C-alpha cells in the first residue's frame, strides 16, 4: 500500500478547510447537532444527548455530538470549534479512496480520488455540520480494509478484517443501521464472485468487536429506560424506512427505492471489474482464474 500523493493531500485539506468558520449556523440541522454537543459539554452528561438540557434527543447515536462537544471544550465557543470535528475528517475518505484505487486500478490510481474529491457531494457535505462526513469516513475506511483483507490470507487478512469490523461499528455509532448499507453490497459481491471467502468475512473476533462498539451505548440507554427499545426499533428504524411518520419515503416502496439501489453493482459489471483487478494481488496458485473470467 502506497501513501496518497502529496498533491492529493493538499487538495483534500484545502477543500475541507477553505472558508470554514466564516458563516453562522444554518438551521435546523446544524443548530440541532451543535446544541446537542454543547449541552453534553455544559451538563457533563456524555451519555444522553438533549437539545434543551432536559428532554432526551435520541434520533442519532452520539458520536457526532461527542466530537462537537469535545471540540468546543478544546477550542472554545466559536464557529471554527463547532465545525472542526466535522470538516477535519473530510480529508480522510479521499485518502482511503486513493489507497483502494492503488489496490484495484492498474493505471492512474490517483485519478479516482481526484475525481471523487472534486465531486459536488463530498465538497457540499464537508461544509455542513451533520453526521454524514464522519459516516463517510468510517464507511470508506471499512471498504478499504475489506479490499486489503480480500487480497490477503492468514494473519494479515485477520488484522484487516478486525479493522473493517471496527470501522463498521463506528459507522453504526454514527448513524445507526443506515451506516451498514455498504456492508450489504459487500456481502452480495462475495456471494456472487468469491463465495468461499464469504464465511470468512464474519470473523468471530471481528463480529464481537463490532457488537461491542455498535451496541454498548444503545444497551446502556435502554437499560436506563426500557421503553427506549421500542422507540429505536419502531420509530427510528421501521418508521423511517417503511412509513411516512418522518415525512419521507411515505410510499410502501419508499425504503426499497432509497436503499436497495445501493446494491445494484454487486452482481453486475462493477463487481466483475473489481474482481478482475484484485485478482493480480490475491494469493493465487497454478490454474487460478478470476471469478468473472479473463
* DSSP assignment of 252-280: TTHHHHHHGGGGTTTTSHHHHHHHHHHHT
Mean pLDDT in residue range 41-64: 90
- What tens digit of pLDDT does each residue of 77-108 get? 877 777 777 766 665 655 556 555 555 555 55
pLDDT at 270: 46
User: By the 8 A CB rule, do 192 and 268 touch?
Assistant: no
User: By the 8 A CB rule, do 186 and 150 touch?
Assistant: no
pTM value?
Answer: 0.74
pLDDT at 152 over 90: no
Residue 56 pairs with which residues in a beta bridge? Answer: 50
pLDDT at 123 over 70: no
User: How many separate helices (H) and strands (E) can be counted in the chain?
Assistant: 16, 0
Query: What is the SS3 string spanning 3-32?
Result: CCCHHHHHHHHHHHHCCCCCCCCCCCHHHH
pLDDT at 286: 35
pLDDT at 235 over 90: no
Question: From residue 69, how far is each of 137, 138, 265 by CA, in Å?
Answer: 19, 20, 38
pLDDT at 283: 43
Identify the three-state secondary structure at position 56: strand
* CA distance linking residue 281 with residue 83, whole number of Å: 40
DSSP labels, 192-243: HH-THHHHHHS-HHHHHHHHHHHHHHHHHHHHH-TTHHHIIIIIIIIHHHHS
Amino acid at each position: 500500500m502506497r501513501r496518497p500523493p502529496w498533491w492529493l493531500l493538499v487538495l483534500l485539506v484545502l477543500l475541507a478547510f477553505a472558508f470554514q468558520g466564516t458563516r453562522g449556523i444554518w438551521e435546523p440541522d446544524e443548530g440541532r447537532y451543535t446544541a446537542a454537543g454543547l449541552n453534553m459539554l455544559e451538563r457533563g452528561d456524555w451519555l444522553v444527548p438533549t437539545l434543551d438540557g432536559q428532554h432526551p434527543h435520541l434520533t442519532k447515536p452520539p458520536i457526532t455530538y461527542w466530537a462537537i462537544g469535545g471540540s468546543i471544550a478544546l477550542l472554545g465557543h466559536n464557529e471554527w470549534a463547532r465545525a472542526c470535528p466535522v470538516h477535519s475528517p473530510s480529508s480522510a475518505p479521499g485518502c482511503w479512496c486513493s489507497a483502494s484505487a492503488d489496490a484495484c486500478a492498474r493505471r492512474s490510481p490517483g485519478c479516482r480520488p481526484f475525481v471523487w474529491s472534486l465531486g459536488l457531494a463530498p465538497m457540499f457535505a464537508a461544509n455542513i455540520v451533520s453526521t454524514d462526513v464522519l459516516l463517510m469516513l468510517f464507511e470508506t475506511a471499512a471498504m478499504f480494509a475489506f479490499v486489503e483483507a480480500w487480497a490477503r490470507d492468514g494473519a494479515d487478512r485477520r488484522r484487516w478484517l478486525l479493522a473493517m469490523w471496527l470501522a463498521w461499528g463506528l459507522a453504526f455509532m454514527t448513524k445507526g443501521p443506515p451506516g451498514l448499507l455498504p456492508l450489504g453490497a459487500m456481502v452480495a459481491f462475495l456471494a456472487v464472485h468469491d463465495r468461499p471467502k464469504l464465511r470468512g468475512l464474519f470473523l468471530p473476533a471481528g463480529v464481537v468487536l463490532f457488537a461491542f462498539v455498535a451496541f454498548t451505548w444503545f444497551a446502556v440507554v435502554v437499560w436506563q429506560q426500557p421503553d427506549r427499545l421500542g422507540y429505536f426499533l419502531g420509530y427510528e428504524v421501521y418508521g423511517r424506512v417503511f412509513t411516512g411518520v418522518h415525512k419521507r419515503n411515505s410510499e410502501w416502496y419508499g425504503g426499497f427505492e432509497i436503499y436497495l439501489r445501493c446494491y445494484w453493482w454487486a452482481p453486475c459489471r462493477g463487481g466483475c471489474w473489481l474482481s478482475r483487478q484484485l485478482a493480480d494481488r490475491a494469493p493465487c496458485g497454478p490454474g487460478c482464474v478470476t471469478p468473472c473470467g479473463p
